[in-house]
Amino acid sequence: MKPAEYRRMYEAEERQWWYAGQRAIATAVLEPALGGASPGPRRLLDAGCGSGFNLLALAPLGRAVGIDLAPEAVAFCRTRGVRAARASLLALPFPDSAFDAVTSFDVIYHAWVTDDRRAVAEMARVLRPGGLLLVRVPALEALRGAHDVEVQSRHRYTRAELRALLEGCSLRVERATYCNSLLFPLLLARRTLDRVLGREGSDVGFLPAPLEWAFSRALLAEAALVRAGLSFPVGASAVALARKARP
C-alpha cells in the first residue's frame, strides 16, 4: 500500500465500521473451527498484519505474531505493543508446521504479491497438519474503484477463485462465503458513482456517527448469520477457511 494508507489504517482499524465488522465476521468463521481448549498454547500467525490491531483481536485465541513487508506497518505494530517482524509473504521466516492457524486479511490481492498461489503455499507450509488457514480478499472486479488505486490492488476475487486457489495448494476448504453483503447494493452504487465522477482517494476514514452505527450493525448481523452457518451469494469481500491435511 501507499505509506499514507498505513497511518489511516492505524487510526481507524480499532473502531471504524468496516474494520470492526470484518473482525467480527472473521472471528465467527475461525473461532468455532478451532474448537475448545487447546492442549497447549495455540500458535497463530497473521500474515500481512498491517498496523497490528488484528493481533490484539487474535490474542484470546492463542499466541499471535505477525509479519508485514512494509516498514511503516511494523513500526505501527511496535507502537501498539504487538509482536511483528518485517518479512515477505512469499518467503515466511518460519519452519514447516510452526503454527496452528494462519490468517491473511486483505493481503494476497496486493500488487506486491506477484504470485498468490506461492503466497498460499507458503502459508500452508508453516501450518501444522490439521491447522487452519483463514483468507479474506476484496471481491468482484465490478467493485474496483479509487480505493483500489490507493491500496494497489492487483485483483479482486470471486468466491470460486478463492476456493480454487486454496484447493490448488492441497488445502481442504471448510467454509467459503462472501461478506459485507447486506450493504452490497450501496457499495455497488457508490463505486459506480465514483467512476462516473472520477473520484480519487482512499475509503478509509470515519463516516458520520449514525452511518458508522448503522453500517457496523449490518456487519455484526452478518457475523451472527455466518456463525450460524449461513453463506452469502454476493458481497464486497470473500472469505474462506481451509484445513491442511493430516498425513
Number of domains in the chain: 1
Please state, in angstroms and rounded to a whole number, the distance separating the CA atoms of residues 104 and 197. Answer: 33
Nearest CA-CA partner of 94 in 50, 130, 61, 46 = 46
Please give the residue range of the domain that contains residue 138: 3-244
CA angle 117, 9, 185 (to 5 degrees): 75
Q: Output the pLDDT for position 201.
A: 67
Q: What is the pLDDT of residue 36?
A: 59
Q: In this predicted structure, what is the pLDDT of residue 19? A: 93
Give the pLDDT confidence score for residue 2 in this predicted structure: 66
Please give the Cα distance from 18 to 20 (Å, whole number): 6
Task: Quote the cell numbers at residue 98.
Answer: 510452526
Separation of alpha carbons 116 and 166, rounded Å: 10
For residue 186, give every residue at least 6 positions away whose Cβ sits within 8 Å of its Cβ, in sequence order, or none.
Answer: none
Per-residue pLDDT of the chain (247 residues; tens, 9 = 90+): 667 778 888 889 999 999 999 999 999 999 999 985 555 689 999 999 999 999 999 999 999 999 999 999 999 999 999 999 999 999 999 999 999 999 999 999 988 888 999 999 999 999 999 999 999 999 999 888 777 777 788 899 999 999 999 999 999 999 999 999 999 999 998 888 877 777 766 777 788 999 999 999 999 999 999 999 999 999 999 999 999 998 7
Residue 97 burial class via C-beta count within 10 angstroms: exposed 0-12, middle 13-18, buried 19 and up? middle
pTM: 0.93
- Separation between Cα atoms, residue 128 and residue 165, nearest integer Å: 19
Strand 237-244 and strand 127-138: the pairing is: antiparallel
Distance CA 64, CA 100 (A): 10
- Per-residue pLDDT at 217: 97
- For the record, the C-alpha cell of 121 comes out as 503455499
Tell me the CATH number at 114: 3.40.50.150
Report how far residue 190's alpha carbon sits from residue 174's, in angstroms, rounded to the nearest whole number: 32
Distance CA 46, CA 211 (A): 29
Q: What is the pLDDT of residue 41?
A: 86
The span from the CA of 31 to the CA of 49, in Å, is: 19
Report whether 134 contacts 29 (CB < 8 A): yes
Nearest to 108 by CA among 119, 94, 99: 119
CA distance 179 to 103: 16
